[in-house]
Structure formats: C-alpha cells, structure tokens
Amino acid sequence: MPLAYLNGQYVDRATAAVSVDDRGFLFGDGVYEVTRARGGRLFEGERHAARLRRSMADLGLALPQGVTVESLNDVAVKLLAENGLAGEALVYFQVTRGVAPRTHQFPAAGTPATVYVSVGAFTPPDSYRTRGVTCVTYPDIRWLRCDLKVVNLLPNVLAKQEAVTKGAYEAIFVRDGVVTEGASTNVFAVVDGEVRTHPKSNLILPGITRDVLVELARAEGIAVREEPMRLEDLQRAPELFLTSTMNDVMPIVSLDGRPVGDGRPGRVTNRLAEIFAAHLESVCSMRAVPA
C-alpha cells in the first residue's frame, strides 16, 4: 500500500481523505510543489523549499505548529524510503488554508493548514526528448501572480487540454503578444547561439529547472538573455525548448503546426539537455542509497 503523509500522520494513500470543507477543495486556496527525486534523494530540495516558503508567505499561509518546510523535505525522504522508491520518483507537496466554514476571507486565526506529501515512481520522458515535442499557443488568461505556485490551475488545465485535443505535448501561454511560459513548463528559444527566456516576474513561475539551467548554461559560457519574447520571435527562432521538473530540457520541434528550425531537436538544446542530465546525475546519483 503506498504510504503518504497527511496532517502529521503517515497514512495509506488509497484511503487518505481531506474534508469537503477544506479551503483547497472549496476555493483552490493552497500552494504546492513538485520535486524530482532519484536514489531516494530530492533534487534541488532546498530551492523547492524556498519557493514553497515564498508562495506561502505571500499568501499569508502558515504551516501548523511544529511543522517546517525543512521537516516536509525529511517527510519526503522518509516516504521515498518507506515506499521503496530508490530509482526515479516525484514528490508532491500541498498546503491549503485548512478546514473551515465557507467564507471567502481567511478562516479564524489558529485554523491549522492542511499538509499533504506523496511520492510516486516516475519515468522521465526520454523518448520524447530524442524526437522533440509539438506545442500550440494559448492565450494567457491567468491572474497576475503567476510567480506563486498555487493549486488554482484552471487556466493551465484548459491550456493543456487544448494541447492534448490538438495532439500536442504542451501549450505555450501568450499574453499581449508576449510568450510567458508553458502550461506546466518554462519556455526557451535559442537565437544566434544565445539562449533566451522570459525574465522572472509576476507573469511566470520561477521554475527550479529554469534557474538551474540558466546557471549551468552561463557556467559553460553559453549566453542567456532573460528578456520578454514576442510570439513572432518564437516563430522565427531556430531552436525552442521547454524546462520543468518532469521534462528537464525538452526540445520543441513544432509550434502551432509549423516546424521549428529543421524540425529536429537543435544543437544548443541537445547540449543543454546533456549538461542538465549530467548535473542531475552528479547531485542525485541513481546509485545512491538513502541514508
């Protein structure tokens, strides 16, 4: 039976339940993180923890007494071990504003947050990476705090469904002609050997994969420009790719039905994918056994 963590208890995931009065259920009033794990270790656990802390702080959301974000990383490592996940895995963390009578404003002080952590085996989409993926554009109908990782994901759900309906892998949001990010990914272009992506702002999620990749690229002497790109820039770019926890670096070979470059994963993109894979392996080896 897969073991999960809910409100301080280790529980059978199949029967774990939250109240119908949970504010996550009623209002989408909560935040989450998805972290990669390998060999029983979290990949960039500290950065994910920092992002979770920030999402919570900006929404006035506090963990229950005695629970810290670091302690949730320890919970995740324990869940990986208990569930025998020594290979590739994903960890899901969610915190909502707790269970309370339905009023829009925050519940009474002292209402404990609902805290959930689960783990599962993960198969990286390596076969997609070899061929590259297709994307479609979609209007960015989201709010103006896309930098917070909130569970209220309806625009992302609609965008991804549009992609799936059109046989595409990912939807790319466009706001006022500017490409922001994907439904669950960050978006990059390569132009004249330079890597480009949207700057960190309220309009995108500051992806952990994005941040790590930007640092790795610069360390390799590959220039990265964090500047908004218009859809036309993307349409002309010879290489495009996505980044996320579940994709690492994923080449895009078609946008809205038109080939990107020669319709194959680009040279710089492939190099960045290699650099990222090597980094992941070096910090989170498959062969490592959890302590």
Q: Compute the least distance from the CB of residue 33 to ligand PDD, in Å.
A: 8
Dihedral sign for Cα 254, 256, 258, 261, please: negative
Judged by beta carbon, residue 186 or residue 270, the one nearer ligand PDD is: 186
**Which DSSP category does 47 fall into?**
H
Q: Which of 89, 91, 148, 205 binds ligand PDD (CB under 6 A)?
A: 205
- CB closer to ligand PDD, 180 vs 261: 180
| Distances from the Cα of 103 to the Cα of 27, 60, 110, 258, angstroms | 10, 16, 16, 48
Residue count at the site for ligand PDD (CB under 6 A)? 15
| Residue 150 or 255 with smaller CB distance to ligand PDD | 150
34 binds ligand PDD (CB under 6 A): yes
Q: Which residues within the stretch 212-251 sit at the binding site for ligand PDD (CB under 6 A)? A: 243-246
Give the x-and-dash track for 105-144 against ligand PDD (CB under 6 A): ----------------------------------------
Site for ligand PDD contains 180 (CB under 6 A):
no
DSSP string across 232-278: HHHHH-SEEEEEETTTEEEEEEEETTEESTTSS--HHHHHHHHHHHH
83 binds ligand PDD (CB under 6 A): no
Cα(208)–Cα(186) distance, integer angstroms = 10
For 151-211, the DSSP string reads S--HHHHHHHHHHHHTT-SEEEEEETTEEEEESSSEEEEEETTEEEEPPSSTTS---HHHH
Judged by CB under 6 A, the stretch of 77-85, 105-113, 121-129, 204-212 that binds ligand PDD is 204-212
What does the DSSP 8-state code read for residue 2?
Answer: -
DSSP label at 283?
H
Q: In what order do the strands lie in the sheet with 88-96?
A: 9-12, 3-6, 114-121, 88-96, 30-38, 41-42
Query: How far apart are the C-alpha atoms of 36 and 89, rounded to whole Å?
Result: 6
- Binding part of the chain for ligand PDD, among 78-86, 103-111, 206-214, 283-291 by CB under 6 A, reads 206-214
Which amino acid would we find at residue 229? Answer: M
Tell me which of 22, 170, 181, 239 binds ligand PDD, using CB under 6 A.
181
Among 24, 207, 251, 266, binds ligand PDD (CB under 6 A): 207
Residue in 78, 149, 166, 200 annotated catalytic: 149
- Alpha-carbon gap, residue 253 to 241, rounded angstroms: 8
Q: Which is nearer to ligand PDD, 112 or 147 (CB)?
A: 147
Residue for token digits 């190099």? 271
Whether 166 is catalytic is: no
Minimal distance, residue 142 CB to ligand PDD, in Å: 8
Residues that bind ligand PDD (CB under 6 A): 34, 156, 181, 184-186, 205, 207-210, 243-246
Q: Name the residues annotated as catalytic.
A: 149
